[in-house]
A and B are shown apart, each in its own frame.
Chain A
């Protein structure tokens, strides 16, 4: 009798179906394929979608569609939304600590430090959205009655290969600078540990971030990255998650439409303050000349 009641108390846990995040929706892979994701010791964690090149194509279409609205939003508004992402992450901190600990084989406390650093990273880039223009743009002194102004403009749709090792802090550190400045992103999650990235999609969907600004794909990095690198409607590619051989191949096919390419750089410590390089890598400078009007007798038009 006591045996039976114990069995009733034992609840079957509900497994989560991890799905892609494309255009603000959560589709399965168009191909219907999945692959097994294991923790650092080889224990099965979940099945993740194994994206095909058509998923990549659909993600680019979604990112292109979102670009006008996102790049046209005020920097202030983008900052608010990035901060909102940090707020939402804070509320789901426990989930991400568990997923990062499983994915990277870290202790609870080390995983928590990674998640906290990732949340802080969103806040850091949220602050940068309306300040980067002052740092890398501004008025240029010219010899003539003109204002000459340079302002940074987002490049467009950026394909981002997320770092393979740092499944969450590394991921956030490559996505946030891309979208902070008004680009839209197609992100290929870490091949071995994509679960934190797929869960991040759920956070982004509830953070006022317009659908399509960030699109998250999981699967074989080489398989998804090849069509993205060759895609004529992708304006830039961040090769952070590509190995040496793959990065070279991708850079060659990316050259065809003169994509901006950020080569993989060795990062020992993702929690260090990142600087502005990852933002400026995907900015273009627009310079305009504007007449100041006729100069008065005093030599000034004011």
Chain B
């Protein structure tokens, strides 16, 4: 498999703005047509019967059940927490989801709702979704979420600085947030829909991983273009090459726009064929989604009973 890793060592690339820029711009360019064709061809795999049942359960266990609305109430977050712990109350063999993902002020509520289970609480922070505030405010946002008990922090990068070419500023911000996270795992959101080109997504991936991200995440779910098979494939190549180069494994989280089981299974095929089996675990791969879970549950019911299920048989979120 062709590698996209740089030939030289990574030790000095973050020494200054110019070395970082030289490194990021020295990454091989992305063959956009080839990338999309590969993502599309991997999407044609036929996954049936027992493999499908396995994939659906794996996908359920990878869901970061998300609610990020201005209208979120404690009641809604509690309902979401209950659903994360028991996605299908009529079938206790259903695995629980990986995490619930909420705004920082809802972390306490979410933490109580999933108490006693393995479900993690993830919180977006750093002035999500735009990320347009001073660094101090972003760090305070992160510290507050961590203090409230968040196990994972989803930060957004400063796309303005990234697109303006001020990579070191973005790098410093991620390292500062990483430090503020303490023991919480850090997911870095690039908002791929705003980065314009595949080359930029590859650069952002490497930048995020160099700065110490535990996860790289496609998008906030708040813009028109969110996770696509192509941009997720690109990020999976980046984490694979990063581990080959440094030995450090980084997770990937596509978020937004994945609504059907069919789509989710296509992403799992991408993971298996690109990054490999090591990533087929909710410690290293997540889906940021809300409506996806209902479709996975309906498909699960279909496999169990042999008849098509309907939205009357899953919760309304």
Contacts and interface: CB of A to CB of B under 8 A. Distances in A.
B292 to A, nearest CB: 16
A140 interface: no
Interface in B76-99: none
A233 B308 contact: yes
A262 interface: no
A230 interface: yes
A57 B308 contact: yes
A231 B312 CA distance: 12
Contacts of B306: 230
| Centre residue among A227, A232, A233 by max chain B CB count within 10 A | A232
A60 interface: yes
A233 B311 contact: yes
Interface in A207-258: 227, 230-234, 253, 256
Interface residues of B, number: 8
A236 to B, nearest CB: 13
Interface residues of A, number: 11
Contacts of B311: 64, 233
A230 B309 CA distance: 9
Contacts of A60: 308
Contacts of B308: 57, 60, 227, 230-233
A57 B309 CA distance: 10
A227 B312 contact: no
Nearest to B311: A233
Nearest to A232: B310
Interface in A174-231: 227, 230-231
A256 B307 CA distance: 10
B313 interface: yes
Contacts of A64: 310-311
A227 B309 CA distance: 11
A231 B311 CA distance: 11
Interface string B281-317: 0000000000000000000000000111111110000
Nearest to B306: A230
Interface of B: 306-313
Q: Which 10 A/B pairs are nearest by Cβ-Cβ distance?
A: A233-B310, A230-B307, A232-B310, A231-B308, A232-B309, A57-B308, A232-B313, A232-B308, A227-B308, A232-B307
18 contacts: A57-B308, A60-B308, A64-B310, A64-B311, A227-B307, A227-B308, A230-B306, A230-B307, A231-B310, A232-B307, A232-B313, A233-B308, A233-B309, A233-B310, A233-B311, A233-B312, A234-B310, A253-B307
